[in-house]
Amino acid sequence: MKVSVSTITISELDVDLLFIPISKEVIEGGLEDLAEAFGPCVEKARGDIRGDGSNATVLYPEKGTAKRIVLVGLGESGKISFEKLRLAAAKGATVAYDVKAETVGIAIPSLDLDGDDTAQALVEGFVLGSYRFTKYRTNAQPGESAQRLVIQTTDQDKQVRRGADRGRIIAEAVCTARDLVNVSPDEKTPVLLSKAIEKTGKKSGFEVSVWDKALIEEEGMGGLLAVNRGSIEPPTFSVLEWRPENARNSRPIILVGKGVTFDTGGLSLKPTKGSMDSMKCDMAGAAAVVGAMEAIAKLEMPLYVIGLIPATDNRPGENAYVPGDVVKMHSGKTVEVLNTDAEGRMILADALSYASSFYPEQVIELSTLTGAAVVALGDFVAAIMTNAEEGSEERLSEMVAAGSESGDRVHPLPMFDEYNEQLKSTVADLKNVGGREGGAITAAKFLEHFVDYPWIHVDIAGPAFWDSGKGYSQAGGTGFGVRLVTRYLQQISEKKR
C-alpha cells in the first residue's frame, strides 16, 4: 500500500473513501464542520454514530470530492489510546475492503496525543486491518484491498509524515511475519524459510547468512539435530545482522526465534483436531524476528541487532529421536528427552548458548513454546519471563510498557527456583519436560540453563495464531511480536541517546 500525506482540505480530497475518526465530544458538538464540507447527510446521520467506536457509519456525501465518508467514534477524547485508534482504523479498513475502495483517505483528528503517534497508530490499524492472505485463492481479485492511502492533516510540519511512515513500515513488517506463518507448511521447509529470510534481508537492508546441516553438525547443535532426526528435510540456522555505523551499542542485542516449520509432536504425536491442525504456526517466533529485523532496518534504527533462527520440522520419521534419548547440547550439557513434543526448547537451547559467543547486551527470544502459556493467559497476551540478572525487574516492566504501547500485550510469570525440581533427570543434567504444573514456567526454566546474559523469554503460543479474526487481525498468523520488539528497541535506542 502506498502511503502519502496531504494538507489539502478534507472536502477537496479526491478518494474512493475518506475515513474520519472522531471523538465523542466532537460528535456531541454537532459536526457542523463536517456538514459544511460534505452536506446534509452528516446531520441526518448524527444520531447513528456511536461515540465508542462500536460501529462505522458510511455516508455518500452531497458535497466535496470524496465518494464516500466513513465515521467511527473514538470515545471520550481524554481516554483515547493508540489501541483505540488502531481498532477504529481497522473498522475503516473493513468498510474500504467491502466496497473495494482503491484510494482511501484518513483525516487525522487533533487529539491530546502527539500528531506523529496518532498518525502512526491510524496507519498501523488501517494497514493491518486491510491485510488478507489470498495466495492460494484461485478467485482472488487483485485490488480488493486499498492500493493508496492518503493521510490528510491540517498540520504543516513533518511530524505527521514521520508518524505515517513509521506506521507503514511497522505494519508492513507485521504483514511479512503474517505471510510467513500463513504459508502452507510444504512451502516453508527450513531451507525455503531461510530463502524467504534472505529475500526479506535484501529487500530491507539487513545481512543474512544461512548455515546448512554440515555446519550445524560442526558447531555441535545437538538439540537442533535431535529434533531434525525424524525429518527428511535438513535443518538450517539463519544468522541475521543489522549493524549500522551509528549504532549506540557495541555489544549486540540478539533476537532469537523458534523456527519449527511444522510440529507434529514427533513420536509423541499430537492429536489432529485443535492441536496439530494449527502447527504450521510453530515458526511464528522466527517470523516475528524476521519482521522485527525488517522494521529495524527500514527504520534505520541506530542499534546493533542480531537475529538467530534455528529451523527444522518435528516429525516421527524412521530415525526420529525417542523418549529416553540423551542428547548432548551445543552448550555441552546433556538432556534426557522424555517427550519429543517438547522440541522447541531443544532447538532454542542451542541457539541461546550460541548467542553467548557474541557477548550480547541482552537477548530477546520469542517462541510458540507451550500450550500452558495459553491456559494461563489466554490467546491475546504473551507470557514473559526473565532470568535473575541485574536489572531484571526493569527489563520486565519496560517490556510490559512496550507491549501496551505497541498493542502486542505481554504479562510476566515468575521464575522461582523451586520450578527447577521438576526438570531433574535420573540419567542426564536435565530432562526436557517438567510435567503439567506450571508448564510455561518450567519450559522457561529449562531454557534458563543455557543463558549467561540478560534474557527475556516471550512465549507467544496464544497470540501468534488465531482460529478466527478479531480487531485488526484476520484468522491465521497475527504477526505478534514484531511491534513489541520494535517498540522495545526504540525505547532502548532512546535511552542510549
Interface residues toward ligand BES, by CB under 6 A: 263, 282, 339, 341-344, 368-372, 374, 433, 439, 461
Q: Minimal distance in Å, beta carbon 263 to Zn ion? A: 4
Closest chain position to Mn ion (CB): 341
459 lies in the binding site for Zn ion (CB under 5 A): no
Q: Minimal distance in Å, beta carbon 366 to ligand BES? A: 12
313 lies in the binding site for Mn ion (CB under 5 A): no
Q: Minimal distance in Å, beta carbon 443 to ligand BES? A: 7
Residue at grid coordinates 522447541: 344
Q: Minimal distance in Å, beta carbon 369 to ligand BES? A: 6
Closest CA to 170 of 490, 497, 496: 490
User: Between residues 126 and 465, which has the closer beta carbon with respect to Zn ion?
Assistant: 465
Q: Minimal distance in Å, beta carbon 266 to ligand BES? A: 9
Residue at grid coordinates 519429543: 340
260 lies in the binding site for Zn ion (CB under 5 A): yes
User: Between residues 179 and 343, which has the closer beta carbon with respect to ligand BES?
Assistant: 343
Q: Is the Cα dihedral 17, 18, 19, 22 positive or negative? A: negative
Which partner from the list Zn ion, ligand BES, Mn ion, none does 370 bind, CB cut-off 5 to 8 Å by kind? ligand BES
Q: Which string of DSSP letters, residue by residue, matches 134-203?
A: -TT-TTPPTT-S-SEEEEE-S--SSHHHHHHHHHHHHHHHHHHHHHHHHS-GGG--HHHHHHHHHHHHHH
Cβ within 8 Å of residue 293, ≥6 positions away: 200, 201, 204, 206, 240, 242, 255, 305, 307
Q: Are 369 and 413 in contact (CB under 8 A)?
A: no
Closest CA to 168 of 118, 104, 120: 120
The catalytic position among 345, 409, 431, 483 is 345
Q: Minimal distance in Å, beta carbon 435 to ligand BES? A: 8
Active site residue 345: yes
Q: How far is CA 108 from CA 3, 22, 191, 255, 405, in A?
A: 14, 9, 44, 34, 19
Which partner from the list ligand BES, Zn ion, Mn ion, none does 147 bind, CB cut-off 5 to 8 Å by kind? none
User: Between residues 124 and 263, which has the closer beta carbon with respect to Mn ion?
Assistant: 263
459 lies in the binding site for Mn ion (CB under 5 A): no
263 lies in the binding site for Zn ion (CB under 5 A): yes
Residues 352-391 close enough to bind Mn ion by CB under 5 A: none
- 305: its cell numbers: 541487532
341 lies in the binding site for Mn ion (CB under 5 A): yes
CA–CA dist 193, 20 (Å, integer)? 40
Closest chain position to ligand BES (CB): 371
Active site residue 395: no
Per-position b or e across 272-311, b if 16+ CB within 10 A of its CB: eeeebeebbbbbbbbbbbbbbbbbbbbbebebbbbbbbbb
**Residues interacting with Zn ion, by CB under 5 A?**
260, 263, 282, 344
Binding footprint of Mn ion on the chain (CB under 5 A): 263, 341, 343
Catalytic residues: 270, 345
